[in-house]
Chains A and B, each alone.
Chain A
Amino acid sequence: MTTPIKVLINGDTFELAASATLADAVALLQLKPPFAAAINLQFIPNTAYHHTLLHDADQIDLIAPVTGG
């Protein structure tokens, strides 16, 4: 059995399976559009979620539209 990984999502720690993808993380959090994702400050297009493997200590940002000036 492989060791789970720990990732930071929006600053909070989550434990995921070693083979987890970004799509798995999004599904776990039950997020619905509109949102966008970045891993370690690199934009990940939504078409790539399923084949983007997560790694231990990855920092994931999931962001949504808000008011702005």
Chain B
Amino acid sequence: MNMYSEKTPGDALVLYGQTFASRLLLGTSRYPSPGVLQAAVKLAQPAMLTASLRRQNLQAGDAVPNTFWAMLAELNVPVLPNTAGCHSVQEVITTAHMAREVFGTPWLKLELIGDDYTLQPDTLNLVDAASRLIKDGFQVLPYCTEDLVLCQRLVDVGCQAIMPWAAPIGTGKGPLNPYALRTLRERLDVPMLVDAGLGLPSHACQVMEWGFDGVLLNTAVALAQDPVRMAGAFANAVQAGRAAFLSGVMPEHNSAQPSTPVLGTPFWHQV
């Protein structure tokens, strides 16, 4: 169903030395049903699916099978576990190790929340958490703000990619600070995925046009009236934005510039 299916040869997303065909990462929460999630994933063909860990329902015991786990296995898309809900470095470290054992992967979306109202990352402790996880062998994709110095420090401690937010998680507001995001893109030479706050395919296209390497979405797809179709729309938008970035955009002008040749204009006379 992808309307724009042309991909630039050799233009794969590379994270920690691993190549991914898609530049779209998709969250798995808040879909109206597991079937809708499954259909959205099959259409969008994301590079990775995010997942999380929560306390077992002890009353259920083994009576209720983990259907999500079975679905992940069936979809066969690489899983990116997150540390959502962690408020301290120790919580992050423990959750990361539990995730590595359960999901069998060293990949990790590092989330360390500093404020529950905005779900803003704890920028003062994020670098320490990232540093410790990298020393423990994790391939860390930190969810961070667009703060240039914070992102530089994350790269300094070994993050080979970073994931600045566009806006607070689940707001769908799109990039709130284009200047900072574009500055970040110009200053740091690591893969950057815009994570959180995108609401429209045009938001995704916009950040891809600015040179970001990919986007991570969840709510914008899951809460659309037709999540499956929206997943396809985002996949197309990411590809279009990437193609536009690689094409090189025209310089902007303040005055009009006729696109039709002026030479030979009929009825023209000098006044």
Q: Is the CB of B28 within 8 A of A69?
A: yes
The 7 closest A-B pairs by CB, nearest first: A68-B52, A69-B27, A69-B218, A36-B98, A43-B97, A67-B28, A67-B29
Chain B positions 84 through 120: 1 when the CB is less than 8 Å from some CB of chain A, otherwise 0: 1000001101110111011100000000000000000
A62–B62 alpha-carbon span in the complex (Å): 13
Extra 4 A-B pairs, beta carbons < 8 Å, given A64-B69, A69-B170: A36-B98, A41-B90, A67-B68, A69-B27
User: Which of the residues A9, A32, A67 comes within 8 Å of B51, measured between beta carbons?
Assistant: A67
Partner of A68, one of B58, B81, B97, B101: B81
Query: Are A31 and B61 touching (Cβ within 8 A)?
Result: yes
Chain B: interface secondary structure? mixed
Q: Which of A32, A62, A65, A68 has the most CB of B within 10 A?
A: A68
Give the contact-size bracket for chain A: 20 to 34
Judge whether A30 and B61 touch: CB under 8 Å.
Answer: yes
Docked-complex contact A63 and B58, CB < 8 angstroms: no
Question: Inside 8 A of A45's CB, which chain B residues have their CB?
Answer: 97, 101
Q: Is B239 an interface residue (CB 8 A)?
A: no
Which residue of chain A has the shortest Cβ distance to B84 in the bound complex? A68
Query: Would you list 13 pairs from A and B whose C-beta atoms are within 8 A, ordered by A residue?
Result: A10-B58, A29-B56, A36-B97, A41-B90, A62-B55, A63-B56, A66-B52, A66-B53, A66-B54, A68-B28, A68-B51, A69-B169, A69-B170
Q: Are A36 and B102 in contact (CB under 8 A)?
A: yes
- Given that A10-B56, A67-B29 are known contacts, is A38 also in contact with B69, CB under 8 Å in the complex? no
B58 near A69 with CB under 8 A, answer no
B66 at the interface (CB under 8 A from A): yes
Contact B61 A65 (CB under 8 A): no
**Contact A65 B98, CB 8 Å, known A29-B58, A31-B56:** no
Known interface pairs A9-B58, A42-B94; A65-B72 also in contact (CB < 8 Å):
yes
